[in-house]
């Protein structure tokens, strides 16, 4: 080959790589409503900012080199709202985006660069698993598996975000589970093995959606944070999540221009029902406190007795944990414990202050709670809160009883605790306490007097008088109270960076 012909050869190779699995396969995807791997990258990054690594890579197997453009995984760098990020996009049109020796090196390279240079990573998940026959036999296993001891290591140096956009088996599911945030398109599948392999192993028919569909992960496993109808919505969710995150754990999250309070801010007190037993949706109170249109809730259909949402307060990113009496009266179950623990670790890892809004009768109890390992889940939650080194502010809206008082930031488990005037704090619900302490039943003549005395003792003024809470505030003062205390509790000595004591805490539970 002459020097003059080399540029032509380069352009031919580039064109072949950019064509992916060929027009026929790409056309079928378009008909099915799926974006291809490169189009997903285009929508993720600011226009013209993508810089690819490994465009000309192919399979190490000679017979497969001609049919493996970019070896089925497209990687590189781009900008999201002018900030640098990295991407791994699985190209299902090339051998099902199966994992190989070459594309494994590509992923490893991108992970190292992102970690060392402090930029987030986005994983577009859609893959068939390990490439056969590359991984078969002892030599294949030695080449493909275990060669990189840090392959699935997470120390939360930079944010990871993942999208489940098709059939996800093998590396796609692993990187999704290792990520700090994941979004799933309805109709996609996230499972350890494909239905065909499961059917062979179990000798029974398996429905893909039952095996790993969105409803399973929304309501039962909690492995995915948000669910959408299209690829475009998934990419928008990834961009929005990263807008709350710093580029790496050594800096504070980006501030936004303050937008003012949400709707009903002045009338926030009217959002709380007058009776302690009445249910309501705490998300209305959160929306009134936070900046307008700033809420980004995670796992909304999992552990619904609690709400975990990113938000902004006067432009500053915060994480909100709130009990939601709309479900089970706000009694915390094991799913909620898992959900809150995961959220606390996320916020602490990326220097996001925490606000806890409290209205709970305690933890769910009974045989089912014990079978679901409630004591261990409660202590995981408590341990995570204790290890948080970001600012923690707690507001008791209506009631806080028992161990849940500590788990929701009571005592010295928050930097500052405030309460609304009508809130109740005690070891247990006064109706139960009267029965246990005095032995009176609800139909007895002594019950009403004993209940009134017990409720009077539960008033927030008693705990405020001994300085076990720092303030009693009117509901309409809550937003200003939180904004002012976030100014006080800035991590000035470390320039907004926490200690990250939970940086190795598992990303999945």
- pLDDT tens readout for residues 356-384: 999 999 998 889 989 989 999 999 999 99
Tell me what pLDDT residue 259 has. Answer: 86
Does residue 485 carry a pLDDT above 50?
Answer: yes
CA angle, corner 348, sides to 346 and 350, nearest 5? 70
pLDDT digits (tens, 9 = 90+) for 78-92: 999 999 999 999 999
pLDDT digits (tens, 9 = 90+) for 213-225: 999 999 999 999 9
Q: How confident is the model at residue 266 (pLDDT cuts 50, 70, 90)?
A: confident
CA-closest candidate to residue 436, choices 451, 458, 457 = 451
Q: How confident is the model at residue 1 (pLDDT cuts 50, 70, 90)?
A: low
pLDDT digits (tens, 9 = 90+) for 68-77: 999 999 999 9
- Rounded average pLDDT over 336-352: 98
Does residue 147 carry a pLDDT above 80?
Answer: no
Which sign does the torsion angle of CA 442, 448, 452, 457 carry? negative
Angular region, 38: left φ>0, alpha ψ -120 to 50, beta rest: alpha
Phi, psi values for residue 155, rounded to 5°: -115, 10
464 vs 472: CA distance, rounded Å: 7
**Which stretches does DSSP call E strand in 174-264?**
181-185, 189-190, 226-228
Tell me what pLDDT residue 156 has. Answer: 96
Q: Between 464 and 259, name the one with better pLDDT.
A: 464
Q: How confident is the model at residue 436 (pLDDT cuts 50, 70, 90)?
A: very low
Q: Between 266 and 301, name the one with better pLDDT.
A: 301
Q: How confident is the model at residue 160 (pLDDT cuts 50, 70, 90)?
A: very high
Q: How confident is the model at residue 4 (pLDDT cuts 50, 70, 90)?
A: low
pLDDT digits (tens, 9 = 90+) for 402-433: 899 999 999 899 999 999 999 999 866 665 54
pLDDT digits (tens, 9 = 90+) for 171-214: 889 999 999 999 999 999 999 877 777 777 777 888 889 888 99
Token pair for 346: 């996320």
Task: Give the burial string for 157-166 (b: 16+ CB within 10 Å, else e).
Answer: bbbbbbbbbb
Token pair for 197: 């392999």
> How many residues would you count in the chain?
509
For the purposes of burial, counting CB atoms within 10 Å of the CB of 309, is it exposed (0-12), middle (13-18) or buried (19 or more)? buried
70 vs 91: CA distance, rounded Å: 9
Tell me what pLDDT residue 171 has. Answer: 85
Tell me what pLDDT residue 428 has. Answer: 61
Instruction: Report the CATH fold assignment for 268-422+459-490.
Output: 2-enoyl-CoA Hydratase; Chain A, domain 1 (3.90.226)
202 vs 207: CA distance, rounded Å: 13
DSSP 425-465: EESS-HHHHIIIII---TTSTTHHHHHHHHHHHTBHHHHHH
For the purposes of burial, counting CB atoms within 10 Å of the CB of 434, is it exposed (0-12), middle (13-18) or buried (19 or more)? buried
441 vs 426: CA distance, rounded Å: 20
Query: pLDDT above 70 covers what percent of the chain?
Result: 92
Contact 235, 480 (CB under 8 A): no
Tell me what pLDDT residue 210 has. Answer: 85
CB atoms within 10 A of CB 441: 10
68 vs 56: CA distance, rounded Å: 10
Q: Where does 33-146+156-244 sit in CATH, by number?
A: 3.90.226.10
Find all residues with CB under 8 Å of 502, minimum gap 6, and list them.
Answer: 344, 345, 348, 349, 384, 387, 388
Phi, psi values for residue 178, rounded to 5°: -85, -10
Query: Where are the domains positioned within the chain?
Result: 33-146+156-244, 268-422+459-490, 428-458
Tell me what pLDDT residue 196 has. Answer: 77
Does residue 507 carry a pLDDT above 70?
Answer: yes
Token pair for 422: 């009508």
DSSP 77-139: EEEETTEEEEEEEE-TTTGGG-B-HHHHHHHHHHHHHHHHHT--EEEEEEEE-BPTTTT-HHH
Tell me what pLDDT residue 430 has. Answer: 62
DSSP 191-204: -SS-HHHHHHHHTS
Does residue 452 carry a pLDDT above 80?
Answer: no
Q: How confident is the model at residue 3 (pLDDT cuts 50, 70, 90)?
A: low
Does residue 505 carry a pLDDT above 60?
Answer: yes
- Rounded average pLDDT over 18-44: 94
CA angle, corner 58, sides to 46 and 147, nearest 5? 95
Query: pLDDT above 90 covers what percent of the chain?
Result: 72
- Rounded average pLDDT over 465-487: 96
Tell me what pLDDT residue 129 has. Answer: 81
Taking all residues of the chain, what is their mean pLDDT, rounded to a whole number?
Answer: 90
């Amino acid at each position: 080959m002459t020097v003059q012909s080399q540029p032509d050869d380069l352009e031919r190779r580039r064109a072949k790589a950019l064509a992916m699995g060929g027009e026929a396969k790409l056309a079928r995807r378009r008909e099915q409503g799926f974006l291809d791997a490169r189009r997903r990258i285009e929508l993720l990054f600011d226009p013209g900012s993508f810089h690819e690594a490994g465009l000309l890579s192919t399979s190490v197997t000679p017979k497969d080199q001609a049919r493996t453009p970019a070896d089925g995984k497209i990687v590189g760098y781009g900008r999201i709202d002018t900030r640098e990020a990295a991407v791994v996009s699985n190209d299902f049109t090339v051998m099902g985006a199966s994992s190989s020796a070459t594309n494994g090196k590509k992923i490893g390279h991108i992970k190292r660069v992102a970690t060392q240079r402090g930029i987030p990573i986005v994983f577009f998940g859609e893959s068939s698993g390990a490439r056969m026959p590359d991984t078969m036999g002892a030599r294949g296993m030695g080449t493909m598996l275990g060669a990189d001891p840090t392959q699935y290591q997470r120390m939360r140096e930079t944010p990871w975000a993942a999208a489940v956009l098709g059939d996800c088996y093998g590396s796609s599911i692993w990187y999704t589970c290792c990520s700090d945030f994941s979004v799933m398109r309805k109709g996609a599948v996230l499972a350890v093995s494909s239905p065909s392999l499961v059917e062979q192993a179990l000798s029974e028919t398996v429905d893909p959606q039952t095996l790993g569909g969105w409803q399973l992960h929304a309501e039962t496993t909690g492995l995915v944070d948000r669910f959408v109808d299209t690829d475009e919505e998934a990419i928008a969710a990834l961009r929005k999540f990263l807008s709350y995150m710093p580029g790496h754990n050594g800096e504070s999250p980006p501030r936004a221009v303050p937008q003012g309070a949400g709707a009903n801010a002045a009338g926030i007190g009217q959002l709380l029902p007058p009776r302690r037993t009445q249910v309501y949706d705490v998300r209305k109170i959160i929306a009134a406190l936070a900046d307008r249109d700033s809420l980004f809730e995670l796992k909304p259909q999992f552990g619904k007795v609690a709400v975990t949402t990113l938000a902004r307060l006067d432009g500053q990113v915060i994480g909100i944990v709130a009990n939601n009496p709309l479900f089970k009266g706000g009694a915390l179950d094991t799913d909620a414990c898992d959900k809150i623990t995961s959220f606390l670790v996320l916020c602490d890892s990326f220097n996001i202050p925490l606000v806890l809004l409290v209205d709970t009768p305690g933890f769910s109890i009974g045989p089912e709670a014990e079978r679901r390992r409630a004591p261990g889940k409660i202590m995981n939650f408590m341990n995570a809160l204790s290890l948080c080194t970001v600012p923690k502010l707690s507001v008791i809206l209506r009631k806080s009883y028992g161990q849940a008082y500590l788990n929701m930031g009571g005592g010295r488990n928050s930097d500052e605790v405030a309460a609304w005037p009508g809130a109740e704090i005690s070891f247990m619900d006064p109706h139960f306490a009267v029965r246990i302490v005095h032995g009176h039943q609800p139909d007895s003549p002594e019950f009403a007097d004993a209940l009134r005395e017990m409720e009077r003792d539960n008033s927030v003024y008693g705990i405020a008088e001994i300085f076990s809470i720092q303030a009693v505030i009117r509901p309409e003062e809550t937003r200003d109270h939180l904004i002012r205390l976030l100014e006080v509790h800035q991590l000035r000595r470390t320039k907004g960076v926490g200690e990250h004591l939970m940086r190795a805490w598992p990303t999945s539970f």
